[in-house]
Amino acid sequence: MMEAHAFERDGEDMTVTNSYAPASPRSPRAPVAVSASAASSVRGSGRETNEDSFLVAGPLLAVADGVGGAAAGERASRLVVDTLRRLVPEDPADPEAALAAAVEQANRAVRAAAVDGAAGMGSTVVAALIGAGGVTVANAGDSRAYLWHDDALRRLTADDSIAADLAASGKISAADARRSPLRSILLRAVGVAEELEVRPERHHASPGDVLLLCSDGLWDGVDDETLALELAAGQPLPELAARLVALARAHGSHDDITIACALIG
Ligand SMILES: [Mn+2]
């Protein structure tokens, strides 16, 4: 059952590791499964609360980065991962539809809770479901999913930010987008508008691949080239997560940093 393998951040800083055997012996046509997973979430330097939340629950991983002021942001990101854990089945017939429905429900839950002092709260989300047919990913905001596959790093998500849009349309370079203050101005997030439509995409994956979800606190300090080098080193996932957090800090990321990753078996 998914609940038995569920972990969420509970407290300021937290690290979890998890491993279990795939449900059935592997055959050439067997769906991919999670063979090990890990997560790490650390509060930003000088911040009073960690507004990121994560979920590692068997084949379902998610990272959410709350906005709207300390307590409200923390609550929004927690609501997002709680809603996903409740609503996403372990092995749905249609993973794209299952993830989309859960994110849309999370949007309603955050809006319903955004009253009084919490008005205006919201959260990013990146969620991935590993199973039949590969890795299905949904996102809104600037938390990211990466897949290490065939010794190469692929980013599976596009940021919903003004800077990312400007880079996508060729108005600024990717390098400028990384440093632009507009990278933090989100065009889409959970809880911001009455309707949130997400279009999850399914990606091919193979045993040995590593899926990594992260909040912007990670990618602000660790560029894709550095991330690829760390994944190429083949470190155990808990060491990979700890090292990436340390690298992001060393490179000046003061934000909350959250990573959830899975080795595909
Ligand atoms: Mn952040």
Distance of alpha carbon 172 from alpha carbon 174, whole angstroms:
7
Q: Report how far ligand 1's centroid is from the alpha carbon of 146 (Å).
A: 17
Find, among 149, 205, 207, 204, the residue nearest to 25 by Cα: 207
Find, among 136, 199, 142, the residue nearest to 165 by Cα: 142
Q: Report how far ligand 1's centroid is from the alpha carbon of 107 (Å).
A: 18
For 138: left if phi > 0, alpha if psi spans -120 to 50, otherwise beta; the answer is: beta
Distance of alpha carbon 108 from alpha carbon 253, whole angstroms:
31
Task: Give the per-residue pLDDT at 19.
Answer: 52
User: Per-residue confidence of the chain (265 residues) as pLDDT tens digits?
Assistant: 333 345 555 445 776 766 544 444 444 445 689 999 999 999 999 888 999 999 999 999 999 999 887 679 999 999 999 999 999 999 999 999 999 999 999 999 999 998 877 788 999 999 999 997 899 999 999 999 999 999 999 999 999 999 999 999 999 999 999 899 999 899 999 999 999 999 999 999 999 999 999 999 999 999 999 999 999 999 999 999 999 999 999 999 999 999 999 999 9
Q: Report how far ligand 1's centroid is from the alpha carbon of 131 (Å).
A: 28
Which fold is adopted by the domain 2-10+32-157+187-264? Phosphatase 2c; domain 1 (3.60.40)
Query: What are 41-45's contacts with CB under 8 Å, separation 24+?
Result: 41/9, 41/13, 41/14, 41/15, 41/256, 41/257, 41/258, 41/259, 42/13, 42/245, 42/256, 42/257, 42/258, 43/12, 43/13, 43/256, 44/217, 44/253, 44/254, 44/255, 44/256, 44/257, 45/249, 45/254
Domain coordinates in residue numbering, the chain:
2-10+32-157+187-264
| pTM for this prediction | 0.90
Q: Report how far ligand 1's centroid is from the alpha carbon of 255 (Å).
A: 6
Q: Report how far ligand 1's centroid is from the alpha carbon of 219 (Å).
A: 10
Q: Report how far ligand 1's centroid is from the alpha carbon of 57 (Å).
A: 22
The residues near 234 (Cβ < 8 Å, ≥ 6 apart) are: none
The residues near 145 (Cβ < 8 Å, ≥ 6 apart) are: 126, 128, 137, 139, 155, 156, 157, 211, 212, 213
